[in-house]
Chains A and B, each alone.
Chain A
Amino acid sequence: MSDVVLETRGLVKHFKQVRAVDGVDVHLRRGETLGVVGESGCGKSTLAKLLVGLEKPTSGSVMVRGQDMTRLKGGDLRRARRNIQMVMQDPYTSLNPRMTVGDIIGEPFEIHPDVVAKGKRQQAVQDLLDTVGLNPDHVNRYPHQFSGGQRQRIGIARALALRPEIIVCDEPVSALDVSIQAQVINLLERLQDDFGLSYIFIAHDLSVVRHISDRVAVMYLGKIVEQGHDVAIYDQPTHPYTQALLSAVPVPDPRLRGHRNQIVLEGDVPSPADPPSGCRFRTRCWKAQHVCAEQEPVLQIRERSPHPSACHFAEIRRIH
């Protein structure tokens, strides 16, 4: 298991009453993509912030190459950050509007002056622009002169500048149009091959996550409810929430209309400030029994679930 580049142990983040992330264990291998899916409020964005050190965890650890990021300070922390970078969701707010693209992509080199010698930075910035498919002559332009997809490429170039091993992608394409989404996904896949990157790919769009991920973790109310290889999660889901989520995704094929056995969940996600006892999904679950309220199901391989699932009654159900 020496090729594990990132591992979290019992990661917890509480904002006062709100249990945004409530005990998450994930690991990521070199060159691998771990998809994290879930609906709003499930804690996936907080997880992203914890991984890159934008938030301090309430408890638990984030191990990057055997070092606990959450315990580092000052220069050690700054050096450790080089290894893990993030691409953010909103291409319109993630770039400083008063800096040129050259300054934005060059900023990592100013903060870490030993990465690229001063005289070579300009060339390095232009190489990065070229790498992400932008015209290197556009260094002097401002973010607003680019389209959403191009801005997302600028964000990717900035994340690549320090040659990290790990990139956390927090909904990197959800603000983009369909035709532009495909361009950015292709770029991310190409960069992964070229630089041997490992991705944590967080998204609510299940088809995008399936396309890019090797393994998938499904989150609900701050916890991972099911985890496994993409085929296991998409074709043999065993947790009722995963099954409902998958069945709710509209399929772009009108021939399937009326032939899909769609599971429409009742009601809304409960507040993360006051999650249900036992299994957090039980209030919306059609399988719920007494035991679900009393005993919290552990994320583990079960009799009828060949991959880890946090349901007392885990059972494979094909969705499509």
Chain B
Amino acid sequence: MTDIKAQIDVLPGTDPRAPLLQVNDLHVEFRTRDGVAKAVNGASFWLNPGETLAILGESGCGKSVTASAIMGILETPPGRITKGEIRYRGVDLLKLRGAERRRVRANKIAMIFQDALSALNPVYTVGFQLAELFRVHRGMSRADAKNRAVDLLDQVRIPAARSRVDDYPHQFSGGMRQRVMIAMALALDPEVLIADEPTTALDVTVQAQIMGLLAELQRQRNMGLILITHDMGVVADVADRISVMYAGRVIEEAPVHDVYARPGHPYTRALLESIPRLDLKGQQLNVIRGLPPALTDIPQGCAFNPRCRYAKDPCRQDPPPPAYAIAPRRTARCHFFREVLGE
């Protein structure tokens, strides 16, 4: 068991000082009937051990495609990574050979999805699906693997784990299924956990349980957590840093407190302002006019310019705004970030 882990740790190019996970200038395209859809257009971010990075954005912003690219579960074709790096401890996963890449991903990076029911195989018991991971990747015996499966279900607080291990996925409630999926993701002790809208399909009281569980497991294991979500409440509750995505780019990256106190990009600001708040009761909500761009036809310059109240001529011309360093550990892709910050 330790052998496999040790092997990966000494992959050529491993840099102990590098971030746990680093995505650089990632580009992903999809070929569609309407032309080439540029789903991700130069996304960059990093993640350290024990840290929670929230990737925030609305549907079609490229956040889930980015996650699929990191996990290596992108459908190719029609999808294609055209450019960029995905570095795990300094090693570019996209340059590794197939078998090696799969081994790193299986052992180091895990993912949980929004829809736990379709992510679990309906014809096997959850215990079998968990045990299979240990048998395949750790070479355990049937009995040992089953015991580990029960342990894991216990860790994700499934009541009476020993008796429920032989149940099928449909016999669990939505919240319990999400716990099973978390157990599967954690089985091989990953260092990076990607959670793609993990609580969107759940009720708020169950969401609170699951987010609490995730935070606790992360603390125990010192995992890096990438939380992909559109819910600004959840982000405020758990994230350390935020990367806001729009039309396939990270348009703002900052520690969570800074973003909520003083957003540095007009889109982030507009998003925060469009949440119904107590003091706005009875008034019109602030809205972002218009619609997000079609990915086959992203506007020149800043992709947000047609909807932006700060937009001036430079925003409408290529190249898009660079990632301005607007404060320590903070960037925003807006020419007029000073105005947005209110300086």
- Do any beta carbons of A and B sit within 8 angstroms of each other in the complex? yes
Q: Which residues of A contact B (CB under 8 A)?
A: 39-40, 147, 149-150, 177-183, 185-186, 189, 204, 206-208, 210-212, 230, 244-245, 247-257, 262, 264-265, 267-269
Q: A249-B233, A252-B232 are in contact. Are A179 and B257 (CB under 8 A)?
A: no
Cβ of B203 under 8 Å from chain A: yes
Map CB proximity to A onto B221-240 as digits: 1 under 8 Å, 0 otherwise.
Answer: 00000000011111111110
B-side interface mostly: helix
> How many B residues are at the interface, by size bracket?
35 or more
Cβ of B163 under 8 Å from chain A: no
Q: Is the CB of A268 within 8 A of B206?
A: yes
Q: Is the CB of A250 within 8 A of B233?
A: yes
Across-interface contacts of B276 in A (CB, < 8 A): 182, 185, 207-208, 210-212
Residue contacts A-B, CB under 8 angstroms, 17 given: A177-B292, A178-B274, A182-B276, A186-B284, A186-B287, A207-B277, A211-B277, A212-B276, A245-B204, A250-B236, A254-B237, A254-B239, A262-B208, A264-B212, A268-B173, A268-B176, A269-B203
CB < 8 Å neighbour of B287 from A179, A252, A264: A179
Interface-central residue, B235, B237, B270, by most chain A CB under 10 Å: B237
Map CB proximity to A onto B219-261 as digits: 1 under 8 Å, 0 otherwise.
Answer: 0000000000011111111110000000000000000110010
Cβ of B32 under 8 Å from chain A: no
Q: Tell me the minimal C-beta distance from A233 to chain B in angstroms.
A: 13
Q: Tell me the minimal C-beta distance from A212 to chain B in angstroms.
A: 8
Across-interface contacts of B271 in A (CB, < 8 A): 178-179
CB < 8 Å neighbour of A265 from B209, B234, B277, B291: B209
CA distance A111 to B7 in the complex (A): 72
Across-interface contacts of A268 in B (CB, < 8 A): 173, 175-176, 206
Counting residue pairs across A and B whose Cβ atoms lie within 8 Å, the total is 114
Residues 277 to 301 of chain B near chain A (Cβ within 8 Å): 277-278, 280-281, 284-288, 291-292
Q: Is the CB of A252 within 8 A of B206?
A: no
Across-interface contacts of A206 in B (CB, < 8 A): 204
Q: Tell me the minimal C-beta distance from A80 to chain B in angstroms.
A: 32
Q: Tell me the minimal C-beta distance from B281 to chain A in angstroms.
A: 6
CA distance A267 to B212 in the complex (A): 14
Q: Tell me the minimal C-beta distance from A318 to chain B in angstroms.
A: 13
Cβ of B171 under 8 Å from chain A: no
Across-interface contacts of A262 in B (CB, < 8 A): 208
Across-interface contacts of A264 in B (CB, < 8 A): 205, 208-209, 212
Across-interface contacts of A207 in B (CB, < 8 A): 275-277
Cβ of B58 under 8 Å from chain A: yes
Q: Is the CB of B173 within 8 A of A252?
A: no
Q: Tell me the minimal C-beta distance from A188 to chain B in angstroms.
A: 11
Q: Tell me the minimal C-beta distance from A260 to chain B in angstroms.
A: 9
A231 (CB) vs chain B CBs: closest residue = B281
Cβ of B272 under 8 Å from chain A: yes
